[in-house]
Structure 1
Amino acid sequence: MTGGAGRPDIVPGGAHMGAVLAALHAAAFPPAERWDAAAMDAVLAMPGVLVGLGRLGGDPVPQGFVIGRVVADEAEILTLAVAGTARRRGLGRALLDWMEGQVAARGAGRLILEVSAANEGARALYRGAGFTEIGRRRAYYADGSDALVLERALGGEAPPAA
């Protein structure tokens, strides 16, 4: 995806980016939910992991990222983060669309993720992309909020970006 004039640009990331991703994660999540550089590096070392870095308007500095993985014929988004200053500009949806394309190309038939029931912005993003709730993990997060387990079948057309 090529960005220009404020449009999102998604490029692949790779291993040993833990410090960069941890800084972005810290800008997007409450303290109890942040992943540090060591945790990021551990996730990046797992088999089947994919990373997309999101930039806006040709800026070389990423303002968001998505980490996902493919296991057999399923895929999971492990985390998706967009810095507060870059929200509501299409970057989250571009990261989501990029990951869907990557995992579908690797044979995944469905994509799952977890999101806090208290995170209205993220829930709206996923709902707009065609995800549906398939489960709930009660009091999953440190703040006591539930985790919603969402799913989207791949292979069909995604709803248009809002």
Structure 2
Amino acid sequence: MLTFEEKLAVITTFPELQKKDVSMGRVNFHYEASIVDKKIVVYHLHPNGNGFVYAEQIPHTATDDKGFVNIREFTADELRSIIQASIQSLSNPAIPLMVSSPAFPELSQETILSSESWEDGEGQTLTLVEEDELWNVYTGSNLEMAFETYTEAKKYLKDEGFWRS
């Protein structure tokens, strides 16, 4: 089990999350750019190492009645993976989620998708998603472009002034 400090070290690698102190030494991490009503990604991370991550929209993930999964026994990779999927679910629920971690062994290879966020200097974000042997570029939930290879998609994004975030 990771310690509180080790979990904080993983969570703080996500610059899009804002730390909010709550009672009894616990902390929450909010995703203010969420396009849905939910903004809390990490809930009640406690100094004893217990805590929760919002995972209601993540396929094949058992959650409590509020949509959270307990992260007490997660490894660093599992924690990183579920936080990334949680942020993606709050960023664009229309795009299938990427969950590629040993924490989710029940997912079939067909369910696991590759996804990347790309930003430009004006704060615009595009999402590059591998779907059905194509690389699709999304603006929000709208398909902007589709490419046969990752290299073509990456070149397009760079030519348009975007970089991988």
Q: Which structure has the highest helix share of the two?
A: 1
Q: Give me the TM-score of the superposition, normalised by structure 1.
A: 0.30
Q: Please tell me whether Structure 1 or Structure 2 has the larger radius of gyration of its CA atoms.
A: 2
Q: Give me the TM-score of the superposition, normalised by structure 2.
A: 0.30
* Structure with greater contact order relative to length (CA < 8 Å, sep ≥ 6): 1
